[in-house]
Structure 1
Amino acid sequence: MKSHLYFLSIILLITSCKTDRNLKQPSDFIPENATYILKVSNLESLKSNLNNNDLLKKTSETNVYKKLSNIASPIQHFNTNDDVLLCFANDTNDSLQYSIITKYHPSLFNIDSLPDIKVETVKTKSNTYRKTTINNETLYSVIKDSIFIGASNKDFLEQTINIKKPNQELVSLLDSSGNNSQLSVLINNKQNKETLQTTLNDTTGLRNFTNYFLLDVDLQQDDIFINGITKATDSTKSLINVFKNTKPQENQLANITPANSDGFLSFTFDNYNTLKQNLQHFHKKDSLQSNTLLFDNVIETGVIYYGNDQAVVLNSLDKTSTQDALSENELEIETYRQVPIYSFNKPELFYENFTPFINYKSATKYCIIDTFFIFSDSIELLQNIIASHQNSTTLNDRSYYDNIKSRITDEASLMFVSNNVGLKTFIETHIGESIGFNLDNYKSTVIQYIYDSNFSHVNAVIQKGKTKAVENSISESFSLKLSNNILNTPQFVTNHLTHGKDIVVQDIKNNLYLISNTGKVLWKKQLDGAVLGKIEQIDMYKNGRLQLAFATPNRVYVLDRNGKDVSPFPLKFNDNITQPLSVFDYDNNRNYRLLITQGKNILMYDDAGKTVKGFTYKNADDVINHQPQHIRIGRKDYILVKTDNKLHILDRTGKTRVQLKNNYSYSSEAVYLYNGKFTTTSKNGALITIDTQGNTASQNINLTDLHHITSTSKTLVAQSENKLTIKSKTLEMDYGNYSKPEIYYINDKIYVAITDLQSKKIYLFDSQAKSISNFPVYGNSKIELDNIDSDRNLEFVTKGDDNSILLYQIN
C-alpha cells in the first residue's frame, strides 16, 4: 500500500519524563525525516467536518480506511483546543510511523471510560513511557517540557524526543500557514520516497516537481478547497521552476474544451524563449531538439483529454503570425461546420518542446478556432471541439465550472481541470485499489500553480456539482450530522466578517457548535450545561466584532468569533439561573445590560461583568415565569418582569413605572407591544392588554390553556391545539404536537412559521394566512428564517434527524 496515502486517510479518523532541555513549542519536536506534517488548529471541528464531507465519507468504503480505522484509534480520543501536529515518516524498515504532538493539559487524552483499553508503564535506560492500547492499537507517549508527545512505536518516540535541533526549515514553513486554517498539510518532498501526482494526469511525479508543499485545507460538506504554496530550493531539478522569470497569463482553454471531455491541462507564459531556456536547464540539454517559429506568439499551451484521444492547443497573441508559421502545413483534409481541418507533418513537435507537460506524439491534424490552434490525430475529437464551441457547450459554458471559477485565479502558470473520471483515477492511484462509490456529481476538479519569484501559490477545488434550483421551489442546501444528538433548536447568528449568517447549535453533551452557512463546523466548545433560550449577540468592544452571550444553569458566557471566552466571562453562579439571559441596549449605543434570573431574583450586570448598582429591583413575590423583557415606547423604557400572578412594569432603575389596575393569572408567554399596548395571555388563554396608564383588559380569543402567541406591532398570531390564527383568520390544521409559532418580517413581508413535531412537518404562511408554495417540508423542530448570504433567496434552519441539522433555501 502506498505510504503517502496514510496521511490522507489518517486525518479522516481524527475524528512520563522530564529533561533539562528547554524545548517549549510542539514544532520543536517535528522529526527531521518527517514526510508529512499535519497541523490541526481545532481537532473537534475537524472531526465533524471530516465526517460530513461527502467525498471523504465515501472513502470509508475502501480497504485503506478500514485498515487505518484501528491504527488511528488512540488519536480520535484526543480533546484539546490547542494546535495538534501529526507527523509521518518512514522508519528503517520503510514502514510508515506517526507521532502526535500538542501542548499538554490533564484532560487531553480522555480514555478512562473506554472499553478494551490497556495502559502500561514502559521503562528504558533513559526514559519512562506510557503505553496505551485501544482496539489492539498502541500509542507510546511522554510529557516533555509541558508538551505531550505520542508515537506509533517506541523507537519513533525516542527519535522524536531526542531531537538535538529543530528543523528550522520545516518549522518556518509550518508557521507561515494560515492562522484561521483548520487543517494545514506540509509535504516534505526531500523525504518522500514515492511519487505523488501533482495533477490528476501527472506522469512527472512530485519528486521532480518541488521540495515542499504547504497546503491549507478547507473542508465543507460538498467541497474541498486547498490553498497554499509549493517551494523548490533547487532551481535545476524542480519542474515548477521552469516558470521562473515568466508571468502567468489568463487560462482560456475552458473556452474551447468540450463539456463532455475528461478535462484539460493549461500552462501559460509571457515569453516562450524564457520558458524554453528553463526547460533546457531542467532537461540538462544545450537546446531543445526542434527549433520553430510556431511558439513565438503563443502565451498558453495545453492538452484536451477525451477518452484515449488528446488534442494539443496553442493560444496565440498574434493569430496571423502563428498561422504563417504553419504555412507549410496548409493541406486541407476536410471541412467541418465551415471550419477547415488541415494535415500536420510534425506530430512529435509538442512532445519535443514541452515534455514533460505534453507527452503526445501523434498530432497529425489541426484546425483553428478564434485564436486557438488545435492539433490532434483524432478527426472526431477535432469535430467535437468545433461543435462544442459553436453550440456553446464548452466547459466554460457549464454552471458547475462557473461556480469553481470564483475560487481560483484567472491567471495561473499551470492549471489542470478534470471530470469525475479523472478524479476517480487520481484517488484509485493513491489508495492502490479500485473504488466502488459514485463520483458522477464531481463534474469538475481544478488544480492551479501560480509562479511567484522563488515559490508558487497552489489552489485546488474539489467540488460537488449542484443542481440549479427550480424557481419557487424549496431546496436542501445541506444536511449536517453531529457526533451526538441535538439538544436545542438551531439558530442563526450574524457573521461580522461576511455580514451573512452562521448557525449555532448545542448537542446533548453540552457541546456548542458554530457552523458556517455552507455546512462547515467552525468550532466546537464544551459548556458546563444546557444553553437557556436563545443566544444573543453583543459588540462589547464597540468595534463591529460580535460576541455570543448566553446563560446556562450556572454560568453566563460571552464567546468571541473563535469560540474563546471573553474576559471576565464566564461568570459563575452557585444558585441556578432559571431563565434565558436577557440583554438590553436601551439607547442602541452598545452599553449593554445583562439580566440574570434566579427564581424570584434578578441580577443586572454590565458587559464588563460588573454589577449595575443603579438597578434597585431585586426580587419578585413569586418565581419569574419568563425572562425579563425590554420594550421602548417613544422615549420611555419599560422593563417587564412577569410571574404567574403579577406583571411588573419597571423603569431603567427597577422602580415601578406602570401600576396595573388589575392583575391576572398569567401564562408563561412573552409580553408583546401590539396595537400600542402591552399584550400577553392568561393561563386559561385570554388575551390580556395593558396601556401605559395601567388600564387592563381581558378578551376571549378562543384559546385553551395549552396555547402560544407571538406578535409584531400590528400582527397577532395565536396557536391552540390544531388551530392557527393569523390576524383575524383561523386555520384548522391536522391534529398534532405543534411548536410555538414564529413571526419573521423580511423584505417588507411577514412570514409565520410553525412545526408539527409529531408528523415532522414545517409550515410557512404569509400575513393573510396563505401557505407559501411547496410547504410543508420535513423538519423536526422550530425553524429560524432569514437571508443568510449574498443572494436574494431566503433560508431556514431546522433540526433533521436527532443528530442532524438541515438548511433549506426558498428559491
Structure 2
Amino acid sequence: MKFKIIAVLFLLVCISCTTNEQTKTSILDYIPSNTTTLLKINDYNSLTSEIKNNDFLTDLKKSDLLKTYQESVTLLDYAEPSAKGLLAFTKTNDTTDFFFITKDSINLNRLDSLNTTKSVLDYISTTYTKTTLDSTAYYSYKENEYTILSSSKNLIENTINNTVEARLNSNTLQKLYKAASNNKSGTLFLHTQNNFLLKNTLPKDTITNTKTIDWMSLDINTKQTQLNLAGITVTNDSVLTILSLFKNTTAVANRAQEYAPENTEAISSYTFTDYNTFAKNRINYIVKDSLQDSIFNTVEEIALITINSKKAVLLQTFGADNIDEHLNTFKKAESNFKDSQIKELNKNTILTEVFSPLVEGFKSNYYTIIGNAFIFSEDLYTLQDIISNYKNGTTFNKTPLYKSATETMAKQSSILRIADAKKLKQDLATNFSNSYKDIDLENYFFAGQLVADANFYHTNFTIQKINTETEANTTSPIFTVQLDNDLATNPQFVKNHRTNKKEVIVQDIENNLYLISTDGKVLWKKQLEGKIQGEIAQVDLYKNGRLQFAFTTNNQFLILDRDGKSVEPFSITYKGGNLNALAVFDYENNKKYRFVVTQGDKVFMYNNKADIVSGFTYTKASSAIIKKPKHFTVGNKDYLVFMLEDGSLKILNRVGKVRVKTSKKIAFSTNDVVLYKDKFTVTDTTSILHQIATNGKTAATKFNLIKEHGLDATTNTLVLMDQNTITIKGKKVTLDLGMYSKPKIFYINNKIYVSVTDLQNQKIYLFDSNADPIQNFPVYGSSLIDLADVDNDKKLELVSKDLDNSIIVYKIN
C-alpha cells in the first residue's frame, strides 16, 4: 500500500514538473509570454538602416514601442550583433521592455570600453550580468548557444526560471515563424489585439469588443517615404472574429473608388462573392436575432466613403431592380440633380439592420443609383457632391493618392481601407498620443488590405507619401540615406549585375563599407581594416557576368563579391601600408585583368588568379609612385603611365619597358595625368600644362592658375578649374566665390557633362561640353559627385555627400 502511495506521489510530482518546466527546443521557446510584438531580424545592419532612414518612422520616435526599439538598437549597436536574431517587445502596465535573443555571436566585451558599470547577479544558482550604460540598466545572459539581452531583470530571471507560464506558447506563431521569409531584412509578428494597423483597417466600432484574431506575420519593406508591411493574418476557427464575416467567401475587385469624389478622406470597402454566405457568417458573429434579407443577395461590395467628415455608404451589386423596388417602399420624397434621381427615405436604419457591424451608426436618409451601385448618405449635400464629381470624372480612382496605393495593393480585397493624411494623423493621435497631431504628414496616406484565403488572410499595409509624377526639366531628390558615421569617401555608383541597374557604394570614417540599393536601402555593411584609396573598380573575374568590387586600402588589396564577401585569394596585406589606389587594366576588353598595386617605389601586377604577372618587368621605380598608374590606348598601342615623386613621368608598354622616353622632371600638381589630343597631359605646381606626344615630343603652356587648380580631360575636351572660374574647351564661366573641388568629366549617352562642387557653400554645378549650365543647377551637395543612368530610363541620376553622415541622390529630368 505504501508503495502505491509513493508511486502516485512520484507521478504527481513528475506531472507538476512537466507542467511548470519545459525543455527549450527552439529559439521561440525563450520568448516571454507577454510579448505583443516580435521582430525577426534577418540582417541587422540593413534593417536598422531602413528604419533609421524611413521618414515616417523617424516621426514616430515618440511612441513607446519606437522608444524601446531605439533603446535596444543603441545597446545592440555597441554590442556589434551579427546578422540574425529575435527582438521581442513586452508590455507590463505602462512599461514596454525589449528582449533580444540570438544564436550568433555578440561582442559583449566591447561594452567594457564604454562608460559602463558591470555587476554579476545570482539567481537560482545561475549568474547573469547587469550593465549600466548612461544610467540605463541592461541585463545579459547566456544559455546553451543563445545570448540574451534585455531591458528587464524580470524577463531574464523568468528565462532562467524556465517556467511554461513565462513563455509565449502559440502554435500559430510557430507556424508563421517557420514560414517567414529570410530574404527580407526583417519580419514583424504582431499580436492582433489592440493592433494599430488593424484598428485602422477593420470597422472602428468592432475593435473594442472584438475577440483576438491571433497573430499576423508581416515582411518589412521600406523606402525613405514608404513603409510597406506584407504577409499573413491567421484566424482561429474556434473563435468568432470580425474576419469571420468573410469565411468561405472570395474577394472581388473593389470599385468604390470609381464613385467616390477626388476629395475623399477615407474609403473602407468590403467585398465577397456570395452574399448569402456573408449573411450567415454575420448572424453567427453577432450571435443574436438579426435580419438576413434576401433582397440584398446581389450585393458584392459594401463601402463607407468619408468626404469632409461626412459619411456615405455604397452597395455595389450585379443586379439593381429588386433592391430599388424594396427601397421604394420606404420612399418619402424624390428630386432630380444633374439628371440623377435622389430619393429620400422615411426609414434610416435599413443598412445598419442588414450590414452591421460593417455599417454602424449610419442614418440612410437619401440614396441614388449610379449604374448598379446604390449610394446612401445622411445629408443631401454629400450625395450631390458624389454625383457632381462622378459626372465630371473627378473621382478618387484618378487621384495620385489612389494610384500610389495600388502600387502595393492587390486589385481584389475582402477588406480595403485607404485614408488620407488628415485621417492618418487623427488615427495616430487617437491611438498613440495627442502630440502626433502636430507631426508633418503632408502628402502621406494609409492603406490596409486583407484578402480571404482558407483560414488565413493575405495582408498588406502601407504608410507612404503620394507618388507625384515628376515634372519635366527638374532636378529633384529621390532619397537620402543616413549612415552610422560621417563619410570617409565620395559616394560612387556601381552596377548590380542581377538587375542591370546602378547602386551606391560608400565608406564611413569607421571604415564601414555600405552598398545601398536604388531605393535607398542599405543592402549590407562590411567592416574593413582601413580607408579605401581612390575609387572602387568593378570586375568580372570569372567571365560569367557577375561583378565584383576591387580596391585597395592603406595596406590591403581586396576583392569583394556582390554580397560583400571576400573573394579569395584576393585578400592581400602589405607590410608598411601606404598603398596608392588600385589600377585595373583590361587591354583587350576580354576580362583578362591586370591588377596593379603600387607601394612606395614597388609595383605589383597580378592576374585573375592573384598571381604576380611574371612577364611584367617594371617592379621597382626609381622613386616613390605618387598616384595610381593609368592605362591609355592611342592607335593600336597601349601606354602605361606612372607619375613618380622625383618628377619623372614613366610611359611604358604592356611588359613594363619604356615606350616613350621622357627626361624632363615635372613638379606635379595634385591632378592626375590625362590623355588630351592623344598627348599625355599633366600640370605642375606653377600652373604650366605639360604635354608629351607618343613620339616623345614635349610642349609646355603657361596658364595663370593657382597652385591648387583642377584638371580633367577627354580626348577633345580640356577642363580647368581655377579659384571660382571653370574653363571648358577654352570657354570660361565665373561662379560664385567659394572653395571648389576638382572638375570631373562624365561621358554618358554620347554627351559630355562637367561637374564641379563648391565645398564651402555646398553647391553642385553641372555643365555641358560647351560650358552651358545644365538647367536647375546648382543643387545642394558637399562632395565630388557621380553621375549615371541608374535605372536605364535615359534620365540621369546624381549622387553626392549630403550632410556629414549622409548621401543624397537626385534625378535629372
Per the TM alignment, residue 577 of structure 1 is displaced from its structure 2 partner at its CA by 4.1
Q: Does 2:125 correspond to 1:122?
A: no
Q: Within 5 A, what are the aligned runs for 1:409-424? A: 409-424=410-425
Instruction: Go from structure 1 to structure 2 and tell me whether the alpha carbon gap of 1:543 and 1:294 turns closer, same or farther (over 3 Å shift).
Output: farther
1:347 to 1:40, Cα distance in 2 relative to 1, 3 A: same
Amino acid at match of 2:712: T
Matches within 5 A, 1:435-474: 435-465=436-466, 469-474=470-475
Contact 2:222–2:228 (Cα < 8 Å) also in 1: yes
TM-score (ref. length: structure 1): 0.88
For residues 737-756 of structure 1, the aligned pairs below 5 Å read 737-756=739-758
Aligned partner of 2:307: which letter? Y
* Deviates most, 212-221 or 661-670: 661-670
| Residue matched to 2:369 | 368
In structure 2, do the counterparts of structure 1 residues 440 and 99 end up closer, same or farther at CA, with 3 Å as the change threshold? closer
Q: What are the residue-to-residue correspondences of 1:453-602 with 2, within 5 Å?
A: 453-465=454-466, 469-602=470-603
Q: CA RMSD in A?
A: 3.3
Q: Which residue of 2 aligns with 1:216?
A: 219
How far apart are the structure 2 equivalents of 1:156 and 1:632?
Answer: 68
Q: Which residue of 1 aligns with 2:87?
A: 86
Q: Which residue of 2 aligns with 1:39?
A: 40
Deviations 1:272-317 (A, max 9, x none): 22333333443456x8513133341x33221102355321112233
Q: Report if the CA contact (8 A) 2:192-2:198 is conserved.
A: no
- Deviation of the 1:415 alpha carbon: 0.7
- One-letter amino acid matched to 2:724: N
- Asked if 1 retains the 8 angstrom alpha-carbon contact of 2:552 and 2:579, the reply is no
Return the alpha-carbon distance in structure 2 between the equivalents of residues 377 and 732 of structure 1: 66
Tell me the CA shift for residue 517 of structure 1.
3.3
Q: Which residue of 1 aligns with 2:155?
A: 156
Q: Would the alpha carbon gap of residues 24 and 753 (structure 1) be closer, same or farther in structure 2, given more than 3 Å must change? A: farther
Question: Partners in 2 of 1:284 and 1:517 — Cα distance?
Answer: 52
- Per-residue CA distance 1:2-49 (angstroms, 9 max, x = gap): xxxxxxxxxxxxxxxxxxx99796445334553321112333443343
Partner of 2:14: none
Contact 2:79/2:106 (<8 A) preserved: no
- 2:132 aligned counterpart, secondary structure: strand
Amino acid at match of 1:157: I
Q: What does residue 243 of structure 1 align with? A: 246
Is the Cα contact below 8 Å between 2:117 and 2:131 reproduced in 1? yes
CA contact 1:209–1:240 (8 Å) conserved in 2: no
Residue deviations 1:504-562, cap 9 Å, x none?
Answer: 22222222223333333333332222121112223334444433322211223333444
Q: 1:351 and 1:664 mapped to 2: Cα distance?
A: 91
Deviation of residue 76 (structure 1)?
Answer: 5.1
- What are the Cα deviations for residues 482-514 of structure 1, in whole angstroms up to 9, with x where unaligned? 343222222222233443322222222222223
Matched-pair contact (CA < 8 Å) for 1:22–1:145:
no
Residue 210 of structure 1 aligns to a residue whose secondary structure is coil
Residue equivalent to 1:56: 57
CA shift, 1:214, in A, is: 0.6
CA distance in 1 between counterparts of 2:25 and 2:530 reads: 34
1:530 counterpart letter in structure 2: K
Give percent identity, aligned residues only. 36
Query: Once the 2 structures are TM-superposed, how far is the Cα of residue 668 of structure 1 from its aligned partner?
Result: 4.3
Matched with 2:738 is 736
Corresponding residue of 1:7: none
Residue in 2 that maps onto 1:111: 111
1:726 CA drift (Å): 0.7
Is the contact made by 2:81 and 2:106 (CA closer than 8 Å) also made in structure 1?
Answer: no
Please tell me the residue identity of whatever aligns with 2:281: N
**Number of residues paired by the alignment?**
786
The question of whether the paired residues in 1 share the 8 Å contact of 2:65 and 2:89 is answered with no
Q: Does structure 1 retain, via aligned residues, the 8 Å contact 2:332–2:346?
A: no
1:304-343 aligned at under 5 Å gives the runs 304-318=305-319, 323=324, 326=327, 328=329, 333-343=334-344
Name the counterpart of 2:231. Answer: 228
Aligned partners of 2:570 and 2:730: how far apart in 1?
Answer: 46
CA contact (8 A) 2:192 2:212 kept: no
Letter of the structure 1 residue corresponding to residue 492 of structure 2 = Q
Match of 1:135 in 2: 134
- SS of the aligned residue for 1:259 comes to coil
Deviations 1:114-155 (A, max 9, x none): 33x221001223311111122333222112223211233344
Change (3 A) 1:233 1:537: farther
Give matches, 1:654-665, under 5 Å. Answer: 654-660=656-662, 664-665=666-667
Partner of 2:263: 260
Matched, 1:708 2:710: yes
Residues 754-763 or 322-331, more deviating: 322-331
d(CA) in 2 for partners of 1:71, 1:804: 23
**How far apart are 1:754 and its partner, in Å?**
0.7
**Cα shift at 1:265:** 0.6
CA–CA distance in 2 between the matches of 1:573 and 1:381? 77
Cα offsets for 1:764-798 (capped at 9, x unmatched): 11111112223223322222222223654422222
Residue matched to 2:390: 389
* Structure 2 residue identity aligned to 1:145: N
SS of the residue 2:360 aligns to: coil
The amino acid that maps onto 1:270 is T
Q: Which runs of 5+ in 1 are unaligned?
A: 1-20
In 2, Cα distance between the equivalents of 1:745 and 1:194? 50
Q: Which amino acid aligns with 2:273?
A: D
Distance 1:319 1:607 in 2: 74
Superposition deviation, residue 607 in structure 1: 4.5
CA distance in 2, matches of 1:23, 1:654: 66
**Cα 1:106–1:237 shift into 2, 3 Å:** closer
Equivalent residue letter for 2:268 = L
Once structures 1 and 2 are overlaid, which stretch shifts more, 233-242 or 773-782?
A: 233-242
Q: Which moved more, 1:496-505 or 1:750-759?
A: 496-505
**Which deviates the most, 270-279 or 696-705?**
696-705
Cα separation, partners in 2 of 1:88 and 1:735, compared to 1, 3 Å: closer
Contact 2:89 2:96 in 1 (8 A): yes
- Listed one character per residue, the Cα deviations across residues 57-87 of structure 1 (whole Å, up to 9, x for unaligned) are 2234568766886687645533223212112
SS where residue 262 of structure 2 aligns? coil
Q: For the Cα contact (< 8 Å) 2:200–2:427, is it kept in 1?
A: no
